[in-house]
Amino acid sequence: MSAGAPEGGANTLSQRAAVRERWDTLSEWPLMVAALAFLAAYAIPILHPGLPRWLGALCWWTTWITWLLFVLDYLVRLMLAESRRTFVLRHWLDLIVIALPMLRPLRLLRLIPLLSVINRRATTRLQGRVATYVVGGALLLAFIGALAELSAERHAPGATIVNFGDAIWWATTTMTTVGYGDTYPVTVNGRWVAAALMIGGVALLGTVTATFASWLVDRVSTVSSNEEELRASVARLEAKLDILIEQRSTGRPGTPG
């Protein structure tokens, strides 16, 4: 029995991992569609505040239903995890995804530490995916931050952010830490949004820069490696030519090895 218990436990963990992988595969696209629905339902009432009541209610229900779908997805994966505490600590970004479902592609960021331990071709492909997802996430974060800021500031006394153009300009200058100061939040909620956007923007843009720098280093390394191989090949050819020239000058037959 003592020998069979670990084997049974290993089989159980393997089965749970297989179920979790199947769940991730089956749920990925439906949840991506749900994320887009969430984004639309969140944005429409802010961009068009004079919506009919029924359309406003539809948007409200859509945001809650899609949020519940992401909560369900997180709970299922939590139940299937080998260690729930470890899952929560390692998948903290998924908790953010629950709060902002449209950022689901950023789950790929947890793969960044693996870039240094997989083969070069796989790394290049993964870097491309990370860059694509992170750039997309940065654009989404700017869009969402602009919407949230516009919602908080639009009707405030002395507000400088009163339309979506002002909001997206403010979000861009805030994320890039330029901060011209021509638009700024005047409400408490707006300042909280600004703080979150500053932190998220710096993190995302820093990741984009790091990924691009890593790609450049990899390309330079590849070129350097190719140059070294070319130099070695030329050196071998020169050695063989020297041997042939020496044999011809001395009249000795033979073929260089």
> Would you state the pLDDT for residue 95?
77
pLDDT at 161: 95
User: What is the pLDDT at residue 165?
Assistant: 94
Domain residue ranges in the chain: 1-104, 114-257
pLDDT, averaged in runs of 10, over the chain (257 residues):
54 78 85 86 90 93 89 89 85 74 60 49 57 75 90 92 94 88 92 89 74 71 72 80 77 54
* pLDDT attached to residue 244: 79
**Residue 42: C-alpha distances to residues 48, 64, 157, 186, 215 (Å):** 11, 10, 24, 22, 36
Domain 114-257 in this protein, CATH class = mainly alpha
- Check residue 117 and give its pLDDT: 47
What is the pLDDT at residue 1? 47
Write the Ramachandran bin of 163: left for phi over 0, alpha for psi from -120 to 50, otherwise beta.
beta
DSSP code string of 6-35: HHHHHHHHHHHHHHHHHHHHHHHHHHHHHH
